[in-house]
Amino acid sequence: MKTKLMLLAGLGLLAGCSNTDQVPNPSPAQEKVAEIAYNDLRDGKYEEFLSYLDPKLQQYFQENQKTMKKFSHSIPEGEYKSKTLMVKTFVEETGKPSEYKVSYEIAYPKNLVQYDVSFDKPNGSTKIQNFYIRVYGE
């Protein structure tokens, strides 16, 4: 419970200082791809999951299937209770194109999942540039 509260407080602070109101929401197509890819990864549908990734990321996970399966096995089984868009930001790194990163909080009965997914820009490509999954709770 403590972990959930700390996560919620941390995400609240992050959301408050990132001017998320000024960053556009992902397009409906990007939101749908993010959800389908998450569900496919959770359900072990690896070929389907890979089809939603940018070619570079797709190649990485084809060559590193243990990493992909590690993410897959970390996701709680079953349907989640709710999914909330928490943070929308642009990530700038030297020597790399910018990423449009969207963070979701996905609530399960006994777990909370932070699902970060990146695209090229809001209302841009539906190919996932990057993603990260972190599970809190039991």
Contact 67, 61 (CB under 8 A): yes
| Measured distance CA(30)–CA(15) in Å, rounded | 20
Q: Tell me the pLDDT tens digit for each residue of 19-32.
A: 456 889 999 999 99
pLDDT at 21: 67
Bigger pLDDT: 5 vs 64: 64
The CATH number of 2-19+26-137, from 3.90.550, 3.10.450, 1.10.1740, 3.30.420, is 3.10.450
Q: Is the model's pLDDT at 68 over the cut of 80? A: yes
pTM confidence score: 0.81
pLDDT at 18: 44
Residue ranges covered by each domain of the chain = 2-19+26-137
Element (H, E) at 120: none
pLDDT at 37: 97
